[in-house]
Amino acid sequence: MKPEAHIEPEIVYRKAKGHGHAHHGGAWKIAYADFVTAMMAFFMLLWILGATNEQQRKGIADYFTPTVIQLQNSGGSNGLFGGRSVTAPDGSSVRPETTGKQPVTAAGTDTLSKRPGSGEGSNAASGQQGQAVGSTGKLPKPGESARAKDEAELDKAALRIMARLEADPTLKGLKGQVRFVKTRDGLRIDLVERADFSMFALGTAAPTTAAGRLVQTVAHAIEEMPNALTVRGHTDALGFSRQKETLGGASNWSLSTARADATRRLLMGAGIPGSRFRRIEGVADTDPYVKGNPTDPRNRRISVTLLYQDPA
């Protein structure tokens, strides 16, 4: 018998697999959560753009527009915010090209929330006069002193209006629709419409409930002041049909004038004497607030100007 062949056993070498590096913690989870949040915000933005029209989008943009207060003086302590000012934060129309005013926007919700007539306002006015005496060595002229006092009173009136709007829950959302501009005639108070806020019914001079409350708030803040008033009505460029203008006489001219007079009646109903009114006028769409878009809702506005007591 042949001896059986010797069979070598098969040896298999298996190399142990390493587990590699340990995990890197949860930092990736934070980055992933940020990415998901950003994508959700992006898709919400797309949904809003697709679900709203142009006017609704303008209304949303106007809702987030902060209050703009425009002043002529950029320095000194007799301004609305004691000489502090910043550039316009909301991209709204500053309109420096208009004759007779040099606006500088100022912002500060902490200042607006202070009660008007506090010691800070009076100290600011007195500090301005003291600075004039110290720098020149001479007392200010009587006319200059009267104008500085008038400026301080107009600034306090603006603060009173904003404080009253802040305190009224029904009008708090309309703070951004009240704009203040110093002009060569005095302090102009613009009551500006927006896509979701109208002061008057469409094509009429009938004031809305919100407009009535807004005008009353302005009236109560200035009723104790001796300054005379002018009221000016503005419209956008959306006009009436030619046939209606020819036959019925309806036009943006007559509409803006009627709205200015309706505002005068609201002011009188809130306690402003009729003797304080100097001029009521309508300028149609000739002085747009947003010059690049004559049909913008913000072009529809009412301007109430507190005149300086000394015209000079």
Predicted confidence (pLDDT) at residue 75 exceeds the cutoff of 50 = no
Please state, for a pLDDT cut of 70, what percent of the chain lies above it. Answer: 64
Q: At residue 229, what is the residue type?
A: L
CA pair distance 72, 182, nearest whole angstrom? 5
Beta strands 186-192; 301-307: pairing state: antiparallel
Average pLDDT in the 97-114 region?
39
Determine which helix (DSSP H) or strand (DSSP E) holds 28, and give its type and residue range: helix 27-51
Average pLDDT in the 20-31 region?
72
Which residue, among 157, 193, 188, has the nearest Cα to 176 in the 3D structure?
A: 193
Q: At what angle do helices 119-136 and 142-167 cross, to 10 degrees?
A: 160
CA pair distance 234, 304, nearest whole angstrom? 11
Higher per-residue pLDDT: 275 or 240 = 275
- Position 60 scores a pLDDT of 77
Q: Are 171 and 217 in contact (CB under 8 A)?
A: yes
Predicted confidence (pLDDT) at residue 33 exceeds the cutoff of 70 = yes
CA pair distance 311, 147, nearest whole angstrom? 9
Average pLDDT in the 78-95 region?
44
- In sequence order, what are the residues at sequence separation of 6 or more whose Cβ sits closer than 8 angstroms to the Cβ of residue 134? none
List 105's β-bridge partners, or say none.
70
- Binning the chain into helix, strand and coil, the percentages to the nearest 5 are 45, 15, 45
Query: Around Cβ 228, how many Cβ atoms within 10 Å?
Result: 18
CA pair distance 166, 223, nearest whole angstrom? 19
- Position 89 scores a pLDDT of 43
Q: In this predicted model, what pLDDT tens digit does every residue of 206-250 receive, in sequence order?
A: 999 999 999 999 999 999 999 999 999 999 888 776 655 555 567
Determine which helix (DSSP H) or strand (DSSP E) holds 163, and give its type and residue range: helix 142-167
Determine which helix (DSSP H) or strand (DSSP E) holds 63, and give its type and residue range: helix 54-63
Which residue, among 97, 83, 76, 85, has the nearest Cα to 144 in the 3D structure?
A: 76
Which domains are delineated in the chain?
65-307 (3.30.1330.60)
Higher per-residue pLDDT: 312 or 200 = 200
Higher per-residue pLDDT: 142 or 282 = 282
pTM over 0.85: no
Higher per-residue pLDDT: 269 or 203 = 269
